[in-house]
Amino acid sequence: MTYPLLFPRGECSWNTGMEHVEERRPAKRTHVTQLQYYAYRLSQRNGFSILHSSGKLFQQYIVDAYVKTEGSRLQFLRQNQKDLRIELYRGLLDALECRAHNENIRTGKLIILPSSYQGSPRPMQQNYQDAMAMVRKFDSESKIRTKDDIDKFVSAELPDPCTDLRVFQIVTKCMVHGPCGTINMNSPCMRDGQCCKSFPKQFKDDTEENVNEYPIYRRRATEPVQVGKYSIDNRWVVPYNPWLIKTFNAHINVEVCASVKSVRYLYKYVYKGHNAASVKIQKEGSLDHDEI
Ligand SMILES: [Zn+2]
């Protein structure tokens, strides 16, 4: 019993014999998978739930559930390599055989992760191919580069409340930085007496392109407006896209980054994961290839 506080009566957790209730049972899959079980446990329902109210213990439960589910999934992939048709990965086999031959060892066990397994070598490669295809299709001509392009998508000014009251309200509610600096030294963005996001920005009559950095957006010197207890002008506005904030009614910072490096940045963000080190144990005199 790992969680006596969550399950004081020793309730059963997931097991391989767990079946779907009859009216919800699909013809093919009569048993509840581990993923389905935890999805069921984690969903929020009306009424009090010990699980959802147990703070850090709930977090530990989620991590445990994830590790168990992922572990079984990897175990399944390890045991069903034949059905994954790994003989299709001829290139990899050849490369391994060649390496084993050069190092004068024999090729050992081969465990391959399928491309449906996110984060493994194959989807990484496929994402790379997709990204490169996009870079080829949308060449430098279609990049957001000129001043007019930038102004069309990104604004760093308070909109006119008479033209669009809703955007004005959302910008004043969600897209105003701080204020910090001399007005408010206790703002969380302050580091050694300076704003770490370098607000307030300078007034600027026209957008300026900046090839290897963010552009410097237009911030005209207009009459300040009262937001809460502060008087705010265009120097305090976080760059935004009017359509996006109007659609989502939320803080969405939009910046123009048109260099090819943005592709790497995007994938890095999605797949970087947490800090990790991988340790490999290898039999002497044989070359195993185990992606798990
Ligand atoms: Zn600041």
- pLDDT tens digits for range 207-261: 888 766 778 899 999 888 888 888 888 999 999 999 999 999 999 999 887 766 7
Q: Which residues does 16 contact at the CB level (< 8 Å), separation at least 6?
A: 31
The answer to whether 227 touches 178, Cβ cutoff 8 Å, is no
Both structure tokens of 252: 């969405």
Ligand 1 center–CA 179 separation, angstroms = 6
> Crossing angle of helices 121-137/261-271, nearest 10°?
150
In 238-254, which positions are buried (b, 16+ CB within 10 angstroms) versus exposed (e)? bbbbbebbeeeeeebeb
Ligand 1: distance of its center to the CA of 98 in Å? 57
Who's near 32: CB < 8 A, 6+ residues apart?
14, 18, 19, 20, 40
Strand partners, 107: 287
Ligand 1 mean position to 191 CA, how many Å? 9
Alpha carbons 207 and 55: distance in angstroms, whole number: 47
User: Tell me, what's the pLDDT at 274?
Assistant: 65
Give pLDDT < 70 ranges for the chain.
1, 86-88, 90, 140, 211-212, 259-260, 270-274
**Rounded Cα distance, 207 and 118, in Å:** 40
CA end-to-end span of the chain: 29
Q: Please tell me the distance between residue 247's alpha carbon and the centre of ligand 1 in angstroms.
A: 26
Give the pLDDT of residue 1.
61
Full-prediction pTM beyond 0.75? no
Q: How many angstroms separate the Cα of 71 from the Cα of each of 35, 108, 197, 263?
A: 11, 23, 41, 31
